[in-house]
Structure formats: C-alpha cells, structure tokens
Chain A
Amino acid sequence: MSQDTADQTDESADTLTDDVGPDSLLSSGRFRATLELLGLGVTGALAVAMLALVAFDWLQTFPGSLGAVGETGFEAYESAGRAVDDLLGTNVFWVSTTLRAVATGALVGVMAPLVGAFLVHRQMALIGETLAHTAFAGVAVGVVVAGALGLSGSAGQLLLVALVVSAVAALGLQWLTAHTDAYGDVPIAITLAGSFAVATLVISWGESAFPVAIDIRSFLFGDSAIVTAGGARLVAALTVVVVALVVFNYKQFLFITFDEQAARVARLNVRWYNGLLVVMTAVVVVGSMQILGVILVAGMLVIPSAAASQLAGSFRELLVLSVLFGQASVLAGLVFALLADLPNGGAIIVAAVCIYLAAVAVSGRSAGQLSVH
C-alpha cells in the first residue's frame, strides 16, 4: 500500500474516532463490555437454574432416592418462590405451575432471540409468524392423533405433534420458496393463512370427535396455566438442543447471514444451513407458544434482536444483547402479568417493545434499515 493510502486510511480512522463515537456512558467500550459480560453471566446462571428446576420437577416423578432428590430440589425452588412472594406481597410464585411457567419463559427468552438474531438479518423474520400458525395446526392435529390413539392429549403430547408438523411445514416452506418464482413473502403468506385455515377446521372437527382436557385456544394467546411439567421438559430439552446447534454452527450461520453468495463460493452448504435454521425456528416457535401464544410468538424472535441491532457494534454483541433483552422482557412481562392478572404473552411482548423503543431512542442507527418481510 502506498504511503498516501496509509495516510488516507489513518486520517479516516481519526475522523471516525472523532465523529462516530457517541459519548454516552453505554458506548465507553470497556464499561459496556463488562456490563454485557455480567448480564450474560446472570442470564446463563438463570438459564442453568431453570434447567435444574425442570430436572428436579422431572426427578420428582421417579420412585426411591431419585424421587427424593427431585423433591428436595423442587422444594428449594418453592422456598425461593415464597421469598419472592414475601418481597412482592403476592401468593403466586411458590406455586408449581408458576415456577414451571417462569422456567419455560426464561428458557424461551434464551433460545428465541438467539435464533431470531439470524432470522432478522437474513430478512426471514416473518417465517416465525408463519411457523407459529403451522404449529397451531399441529396442535389441532395433535388433538386428533391423541384422540385416535387413546392418549390423554396432554400439552406435552400436543406440542410434540406440533413440533413434527411445524418442522415439516418449515421444510415445505423452504422448498416452496426455492421452487416458485413469486417474491419471497408470497409463499410465506400462503402458508400462514393456509395452515391457520386447516387449524380452524381440524379444531372444530377434532374437539367434538375427540374431547381433550386442554382448551387448545389457550395456545392462541399463551397461558401459563397450560405449562405442564411435560411441556416445561420439552422446552428445556429444546433449549439445550437449540443452544448447542447455534454454538456448533455459529460460524456457518454467521457467514450465510452476512454474505450468502460468498458463503456459497466458500463451499458452505447454504441450503442445508437454511433448512436447519428454519427447522430450529419451528422448534423455538413450538417451545414458545405455551407462554406467548401463536399470535405473539414471532415477537420474541424478532423484537429483542431488533432492539439489540440498534445498539450492537458486532454480531457477537448482537447475540449477547438479544438474549439479555429477551430474558428481561420475559421476566418483566411474566411478573407484571402475574401481579396484574393479565395474559403473559401480551405483557412479555409489550415489555420487549418498550426495550426496543428505548434502544431506538438511545442509538444513532436508523430503525428503518432493518427490513422485515
């Protein structure tokens, strides 16, 4: 490189240092990095604690010493719940249903923004909304399957069927997008409406033919009352799988998200990773719908990442902030919903939107740069 060029670059760098760096406390690099690391530590510890809660809850069902360990562990969480109740003057947090809902919510708050960060920047945000609708059709199909097989039709069973239906729909959607000449969002819109249409038909028919204990309309708006031990276990398992898949494929997901053509030239199997990402989205959606409801599930995929995109200076930071914002939204929303006796899903998403608006207000980046279709 010529000296002139070097000088020019140096000059530009100096200019950037002077012009671009906002002087707020948040932007002071080291402080910000420490804060984020701290937040990530708390989030991670919370996620592990919630996984342990679900594990103890499961162990309780076993006889003998395993069962005793489970009971002791779960009681510790109930005591912690009572302490929170004492603090807030409530009488809900020690209840096992609430504990399961909090655990499920906290885990959803980790996995949804993690996958959402890639979706948002691959401009695939509405895939989440669509897959939520197919998952709802899956729940409806689950009612029929459970009824036909003589099963109880518990939330866990319905979710498993929803998981399969949603994953198949995800791959079908991927195929449809690749094999039609329409704009990318046309197959998405068709699948969204089509699957919901199927769901309405199957629900009406299935409920009368095979009555189940759960009001599947609770899945529309989300209800902590439908978070059963089985449902919480499913979410815990899905969270571990999703986090492991993101960690294992982080480089590949990042490359195809940022520059798909260059990734293909570098001989990454882009079709495989795209497929994996949509199936992971289906998994997240199914895991989240108990808490958030079908209608609002896409919010947890998109909003924390959109908020983080306003503030982050690197993709790694984007992931960290997405998870932090996701967790904060879920916990704030759940607590508010419990205290005010309002629906979880709405409270969580409103909390997320508040965080997003705050992020837009303090950041210099234009919110319109993120395209969602």
Chain B
Amino acid sequence: MSAVELDEVTFGYGETVAVEEVSLSVEEGEFLGILGPNGSGKTTLLHLMVGLKQPDRGSVRLFGERAAEFEDGERVGYVAQRATDRGDAMPISVQETVLMGRFPHAGHGRIRGEDRAAVERALDRVGVRELADRPIDQLSGGQRQRTFIARALAAEADLLALDEPTVGVDVDSRTAFYDLLDELNAGGMTVVLIEHDVDILTTHVDTVACLNRRLYHHGDTASFLESEAIESAYGRRSGVLDHHV
C-alpha cells in the first residue's frame, strides 16, 4: 500500500496556483526528497500530503484513506520549517517535547508506563537521552532536530514528513542528522523531506520529486540526475544548475 498518494492535485491561494495537477505516490519504506526553487510550492505539497491543507481539485490519500478523514494522527510525524525555533521563548524540556509524540495515543488519559518507555527508547535512538531534562533552548540546532525526530519515533509514526529540517544547523550535525534519517528509513520508516541542497538530497533519498508548481520529475535519484528536470524547474541560469552541470 502507498503511504501517500496524490492524484491530479491542484491547490491555490486565492487566484495564485501553488500546486498544479500533481500526481505521485510514496510507497511505504520509501525515502522521497522534494526539491524546487523558492516559492515553488514544496511546503504546500507537503502540507497537502499530511492533510494540513485540502486540495482544491484532485485527491490525497494517506495510508489508503482520504487525508482529510485520516484519523491515526500518531502514524504521521511532522516537523515544520523552523519548528524548533519555538523553544527559544517557551520553556520546554527535551523530555516534554518528545512526550508530545505520545499525546495522540494517550488522548485525555494519563501518561502510562508504556508511553514513558516509548519516550526513553526514542531519546536513546536519536542520542539525546542525557539531555532529556534540558530546556530546548539550551540545545544546538542539530540536537533540537534530533529531539523532534524523537517525538515522531515516540509516536511510533510510520511516516516522517520534514520541511527543510536542517536550516540553521552546522554542516557536521547536518551530515549526522541525514545519517540518522538513512538509518530510520532502512528500518522501514517512510520519509518525505524538503531540502534545498541538491547534493545532500540526492546522496540520501531513494526518489526525487522536482517541483515548480507542476511536477517536473518524479523518479529515482539516478534518473533525476540524468534528467533535464532541474533545468526546467529552476530555469537555465540558476545557481543550482551551474553547481550540477
């Protein structure tokens, strides 16, 4: 079964069309990278995939169900663009952040032993257990991102959706972060990622969706690199293009 399936999806903000007739599917266990110039509709596409926005036309299905009616919130872990900045003003500990992954499981009930155990495992998995009691604002960018991934792991999510997760993260931590995503993907987790760095993206993902309002390419990384998609999506004079040709 596909984790995500988009069929002829169009979405606009008023008169401005952000995503036009996009069809693609993300299979379970796939690592998809979404690439495109600024303002190309990448974030909108990700929002449509996880059900944050409803398409004007076409359909989006999450694990076989219509995204708008999908209710297994714990199956999708989502990290918004610059989501980790919130911890700067709001006092919140690493443990509390990761525990949020268990909230869809717990509902209004008490946090139980199994919830705490899932949190411990997630903290261990991403290597921030020793930081559990620290406020988020005392963490480095890379550690914060790991904390947010731990939240998705604690939720026991099947799909991880990330919107430019390594903005503001130093190069070493970024590499380590992508290694972690590779490991999680190898363990069976479906990952959908927006990343502006073509090199990093193509090194780690299985498939690439190249977008500029419309879908210019959707296929495995090798076919993407051989294609003309990047020239078409970014325009021939773009810096990204020069970097790659």
Contact = CB atoms under 8 A, between A and B. Distances in A.
The answer to whether A binds B is yes
A365 interface: yes
Contact of B131 (A6, A16, A248): A16
A248 to B, nearest CB: 6
Given A5-B176, A121-B89, A313-B91, 15 more contacts: A1-B176, A9-B130, A12-B140, A16-B138, A252-B108, A265-B51, A265-B78, A266-B73, A266-B155, A313-B133, A313-B135, A315-B92, A318-B90, A365-B137, A369-B89
Given A8-B173, A267-B71, A318 B91 contact: yes
B93 interface: yes
Nearest to A257: B90
B126 interface: yes
B172 interface: yes
B220 interface: no
A2 B161 contact: no
Interface string A1-40: 1101110111011001000100000000100000000000
Contacts of A371: 89
Interface stretch (B79-87, B210-218, B226-234): B79-87
Contacts of B28: none
22 contacts: A1-B126, A1-B183, A8-B172, A9-B128, A10-B130, A16-B131, A29-B133, A121-B90, A251-B103, A251-B111, A252-B108, A254-B100, A255-B103, A259-B83, A265-B50, A265-B76, A266-B78, A266-B155, A267-B70, A268-B103, A268-B104, A314-B91
A5 B91 contact: no
B100 A262 contact: yes
Contacts of B96: 254, 314-316
Contacts of A318: 90-91
A6 B103 CA distance: 28
Contacts of A313: 91, 93, 133-135
A261 B130 contact: no
Nearest to B109: A251
B142 to A, nearest CB: 8
Contacts of B180: 1, 5
Interface in B9-64: 50-52
B78 A6 contact: no
B159 to A, nearest CB: 10
B93 A309 contact: no
B127 interface: yes
B84 to A, nearest CB: 9
A66 interface: no
Contacts of A71: none
A12 B143 contact: yes
A1 B127 contact: yes
Contacts of A262: 77-80, 83, 100, 151
A75 interface: no
A313 B90 CA distance: 9
Interface string A248-275: 1101101101110110111110000000
A304 to B, nearest CB: 14
Interface in A359-373: 365, 369-371
B7 interface: no
Contact of B143 (A9, A308, A316): A9
B52 A255 contact: no
B74 interface: yes
B197 interface: no
Contacts of A265: 50-52, 73, 76-78, 161
Interface string A333-349: 00000000000000000
A252 B103 contact: yes
Nearest to B108: A248
B179 interface: yes
Contacts of B173: 8
A311 to B, nearest CB: 8
A261 B91 contact: no
B173 to A, nearest CB: 7
Given A254-B100, A259-B83, A313-B135, A267 B73 contact: yes
Contacts of B127: 1, 5-6, 9
Contacts of A365: 137
Contacts of B176: 1-2, 4-5, 8
